Amino acid sequence: MNVQVKLTPTLSLFQIVFLGLAWMTPMIYFSIYGIAYESSAGMLTQAYLTAFVAIMFTAYSYGQMSKAHSSSGSAYSYVKKSIHPYLGFLVGWALLLDYLFSPIIACLTFGIYMHAQFPAIPSYLWMIGINLLITLVNLRGASFSANLSKWFVLIQMGFIALFCTLLYRDLTSISEPLAPLLQHEIPFTTILTGASMICFSFLGFDSITTMSEETKNASKTIPRAIAIIIGIAIVLYVVPSYLTQLAFPNPIPFANIDSAGLEIVKMVGGAMLGSVFIIVLLFAIFTQGISSVSSVSRLLLVMGRESILPERIFGYVHPKLKTPAVNILVVGMVSMLALVIRLDTAIKFVNFGALTAFFFVNLSVIGHFYIKERNRTVKGTLTYFVLPGAGACVIGYLFLLLSKDALIMGLVWLLIGVLYQAYRNPDTLKLILQRNKSYSIEKSKSTP
């Protein structure tokens, strides 16, 4: 093992943008169409706009923290350095849910849609094949992955443009163009529930913060990339949602919620567009898998280098490939869980981890700039307290809208993390408990 080997900053602004978009996967709009449609009662336009408002505040906070800390640990590093190391560990542990289950979702969706198109071939064969290919590509390095992702992302954007064009062509007359936005029959709480699920569609802008150490001039490049990614995403999601609601104003009875995206595509463009969809989806899931494995392997690397996870395994960088090769192989093995887990369960895990990280990144801005650096001018209060505070409140509310089983599964995962940390570093937990006990004693003494 050569722990002195470091990651090399080679990625440009547009390479980072395409890696983020690849992780986000514009075609995820179709991959989770059924689940999003069901959870929002068909009000996808409102749900995406609501999710965008929530994500916009958090994206701002990620941009601010990426300027302050250029390490590759994402929310884990931000919370650890701005609030408390132990809380940083718990946030990083929750974030692992997001990042570890994203490659699983890539394998699952690939297997589901390919099996729907080719029923004779079992879905598990597709899942195993795509997982092996994603692993091999990631071993080649970040620059290779970014350059490959660029073309596949452009293909996805082209397909969405074609889908919207066909939708618009079929709209012979639009008597109520604002109908998708002004619908009041569905309770807003239902739209918020849909938004909490749809937040998954925007994940990707945060993943690029794990690539900071491989990015040129990261303190400027990462915030710019985040803004570009969020701007592109909202257009790619809202436009097809709006046009679809105009074209199909009544509830759509899907035969299979998991593959509803393919059904809506065939409704719009027939079997021919459905065949094109499968090809583009292959590219989309492939690039999403590449980018998500890149992100989680870098997060594991940071946690390994800091001995949060076993350093000998997770802190290793291959001397020739300049990639965290062992981590990539570990993620590949974990991704085999796609063979035994349901798609909606995997998405719930991801949403729990993502919303937890988003909530605490907003608090990190307050902790770093407003409390530690005491930037409390009028502008500083707005920039470093009001905006991230609003983001924390919105994300916190969406978090509470997660399903009961998602919350239970996430809390069990956090409990495992607490037990793991207590086993690895028992003195750390004892110190935290002693500090809390001392604080309680001092507080009781000061109380008349």
- C-alpha distances in angstroms, 259 versus 36, 37, 114, 264? 12, 12, 10, 9
User: Which class for 48: exposed (0-12), middle (13-18), buried (19 or more C-beta within 10 A)?
Assistant: buried
Give me the tens of pLDDT residue by residue for the chain, a chain 448 residues long: 444 456 677 788 888 888 788 778 888 888 888 888 888 888 889 999 988 888 889 889 988 888 877 665 578 888 988 898 888 888 888 888 877 888 898 888 888 878 877 889 998 999 999 999 889 888 876 666 667 778 888 999 999 999 999 998 877 666 677 767 777 678 888 888 888 778 767 877 777 877 777 788 877 888 899 889 999 999 999 999 999 988 888 888 888 887 888 899 999 999 899 889 988 988 888 887 887 888 788 878 888 887 778 888 888 888 887 788 889 999 999 999 999 888 778 878 888 888 898 899 999 999 999 999 999 999 999 999 999 999 999 888 888 878 888 889 889 999 998 888 888 776 655 554 554 454 344 444 544 4
* Domain contains 421: no
CATH number of residue 323's parent domain:
1.20.1740.10
**The two three-digit tokens of residue 421, written as one number:** 């940390």
* Domain contains 445: no
- pLDDT tens digits, residue range 113-136? 788 778 899 989 999 999 998 898
pLDDT of residue 73: 59
How far is it between the farthest Cα atoms of the chain?
A: 78
* Domain contains 433: no
Predicted TM-score (pTM) of the model is 0.76
User: How far, in whole angstroms, is CA 102 from its chain's centroid?
Assistant: 8
* Domain contains 153: yes
pLDDT of residue 4: 47
First CA to last CA distance, the chain = 59
- pLDDT tens digits, residue range 51-71? 888 888 988 998 888 887 766
Mean pLDDT of the chain: 83
* Domain contains 419: no
* Domain contains 417: no
- pLDDT tens digits, residue range 227-248? 899 999 999 999 999 999 888 8
**The two three-digit tokens of residue 428, written as one number:** 């750390």
Among 131, 88, 123, residue whose Cα is nearest residue 106: 131
pLDDT of residue 436: 47
* Domain contains 2: no
Domain that holds residue 18: 13-402
Among 414, 226, 207, residue whose Cα is nearest residue 297: 207
For the chain, how many structural domains are there in total?
1
Length of the chain: 448
User: How far, in whole angstroms, is CA 305 from its chain's centroid?
Assistant: 23
* Domain contains 426: no
